[in-house]
Amino acid sequence: MKFAERMSRIGTETAFDVLAVVNQLKAQGRDIISFAIGEPDFDTPQNIKDAAKRALDENFTHYNPSNGLPQFREAIVADTKKMRPGFDCNIDEVVVTPGAKPIMFHSILCIAEKGDEVIYPNPGFPIYESMINFVGARPVPSPLLESRGFSIDTEDLKKRVNDKTALIIINSPQNPTGGALLPEDLEVIADLAKRHDCWVLSDEVYNRMVWEGEFRSIAQLPGMKERTIILDGCSKTFAMTGWRLGWGVMPTELAVKITRMMTNSDSCTCTFNQLAGMEGLKGPMDEVGKMMKEFRERAPIVVDLLNSIDGVSCIKPRGAFYVFPNVTGACQKLGLPSSKELASYLLHEANVAVLGRTCFGARNQGEDQEYVRLSYATAKDLIRKGVTRMKEAIENPKNVEKYRQ
């Protein structure tokens, strides 16, 4: 059977592939500690679940506008302004989607086409590159450097942005590195976007998870509202990953087009989910505060434990719930060619799941270091147990020969 050529260009999110293997091993009785999936280990707060139940009982089970319920969009506007002082928006500039990923997909579809270039962070969330390739545009990676706390190399970025650049994608705080863009980095990106008349897609789903400094959106800078798409959602803040509820805040002319994309693809986002999300944004934030406090406390624990392993070094994350330790020395010690093989070794021999560097994009030109990503959205006792297993497997290796491909 014949398939469209574009299907050969679409990628995947490897974390879900690893999750499938982890679940298979657990089904076989293996005691796997997983740092692989980027999902809070908390349940959705009860007030949000109760709001969904009420919405169902009140028969909020029908279609709603393709861009979202007006009352939910009003709550999004209020929250967006609160989290980004000085930024202004209205409900016509908000589009609600089933998860945050559709904002990536629809934005890239609306903005980029063959012959255009799209800048994206590398290492970065793999769906960025996948969707750029899918629409036929040229992906241009912007290296995130460990030496700069995994912030963008702005001098390098200046060489990459040109008049063919249709879109610059940024993510702060970041997946997979736990890094964050500095205020001066945002200034440079904004200047480049204005000078070359291109859009910026700012992935801000971790905006409440800032451990160093304060959260700042590029959309708050002068002249950037009219060319920025803010991507946000409920998955991380409210532990609602399985609910699939996200949104974008953008200029009205683009919101109209993405709303049309929603009409053609999903019709609308689940009605009662939106009322649950509205409760999250407007209701008490006590449970969210507890989650954020716990993530903040876990960060130094996982960093210190990783730094105790021979051949591993890890810088402090500035936000999100990820660390991206350098494992070059560990790979060399074990005779493994890359972090991909190290991740496989740790999973099958130490019962610990992590993700290798290339799960987050091909290596940048000249890149010669190895990394793995750990999500510390995992209980403290499991963090200690899991990293201790890693230490034992790296410092006292067993059966490592079969992973030296």
16 pLDDT exceeds 80?
A: no
Q: Is 167 helix (H, G, I), strand (E, B) or coil?
A: strand
State how far the Cα of 34 lies from the Cα of 23, in Å rounded to an integer. 10
According to DSSP, the β-strands at 322-323 and 352-353 are: unpaired
* pLDDT tens column, 39-80: 999 999 999 999 999 999 999 999 999 999 999 999 999 999
Q: Is 326 exposed, middle or buried (0-12, 13-18, 19+ CB in 10 A)?
A: buried
* pLDDT tens column, 276-285: 999 999 999 9
Mean pLDDT computed over 130-143: 96
18 pLDDT exceeds 90?
A: no
13 pLDDT exceeds 80?
A: no
Q: What angle do CA 110, 115, 118 make, to 5 degrees?
A: 60
Closest C-alpha to 131, from 152, 93, 100, 96: 100
Closest C-alpha to 68, from 94, 88, 101: 94
> Domains in the chain, please, with CATH?
5-43+287-395 (3.90.1150.10), 48-282 (3.40.640.10)
21 pLDDT exceeds 90?
A: no
Residues 6+ apart with CB under 8 A from 6: 134, 135, 136
User: Which band of pLDDT confidence, cut at 50, 70 and 90, is reported for residue 111?
Assistant: very high
* pLDDT tens column, 335-362: 999 999 999 999 999 999 999 999 999 8
* pLDDT tens column, 316-336: 999 999 999 999 999 999 999
* pLDDT tens column, 154-205: 999 999 999 999 999 999 999 999 999 999 999 999 999 999 999 999 999 9
Beta-bridged to residue 201, according to DSSP, are 169, 229
Residues 6+ apart with CB under 8 A from 143: 122, 152, 153, 156, 364, 367
86 pLDDT exceeds 90?
A: yes
Peptide bond into 123 cis (omega under 30): yes
pLDDT at site 11: 87
